[in-house]
Amino acid sequence: MTYGSGMVRRNDLGFVRYVVGRLEGAGVRAWVFGGWAAELLGLSAPRAHGDVDLLYPADGFAVVDEFLARGDVQEIEAKRFPHKRAFEIDGIMVELFLVQADGAGSFTDFWGVARHDWPADVFAVEVDGLRVASAMAVTGYRAGWEDLQSKLQGR
């Protein structure tokens, strides 16, 4: 199957591999997160996926922004935030969440209002040749979702 053709494609594992590989080719090392990570880790049954979520460990989005500036993917400007970038390939949304590090460990800063701390093993897992966020990272984020949302309501 050819991706990046402008045609609507299925969000299957081949597509996830394509996206990760394309980002890697642009200097963006990302880890599969969200529903795809849960499925790859055996935390959820296989299902249809609406998007691809990725974690991006870096100090900022400079390299990602260079990739987006090329114009060969469709950036979703409404999702351009200090902690996130998003784009579409073949009608499928891809979201990159910035994961920074400080003396306390890895974290994502949501608008300076809420900090999500990632477990120490967040980037220690590989499944079938793909870098995948750890089970603790996936389940911990899900468990803290409502609390995070309540903090963000007042921003």
Model pLDDT for residues 68-124, shown as the tens digit of each residue: 999 989 999 999 999 999 999 989 999 999 999 999 999 999 998 899 999 999 999
For the chain, the domains span 13-153
Give the CA angle between residues 75, 36, 26 to the nearest 5°.
40
Residue 9 has pLDDT above 70, yes or no: no
Identify whether the C-beta of residue 116 lies closer than 8 Å to the C-beta of residue 141.
yes
Distances (CA, A) of 96 to 17, 45, 52: 15, 23, 9
* Residue 101 confidence (pLDDT): 97
CA separation (Å) from 4 to 1, 18, 48?
Answer: 10, 9, 20
Measured distance CA(106)–CA(97) in Å, rounded: 12
Residue 152 confidence (pLDDT): 80
Alpha carbon distance 95, 139 (integer Å): 18
pLDDT recorded at residue 50: 94
In this structure, how many other beta carbons lie within 10 angstroms of the beta carbon of residue 38? 22
Q: Is the pLDDT of residue 154 over 70?
A: no
Task: Quick: pLDDT tens for 17-56.
Answer: 999 999 999 999 999 999 999 999 999 999 999 999 999 9
Residue 58's SS3 state is coil
Q: Supply 124's token pair.
A: 């220690």
Q: Which CATH number fits domain 13-153: 3.40.1360.10, 3.40.50.170, 3.30.460.40, 3.40.718.10?
A: 3.30.460.40
The per-residue pLDDT for range 140-151, each reduced to its tens digit, is 998 888 888 887
6 band by pLDDT with thresholds 50, 70 and 90? low
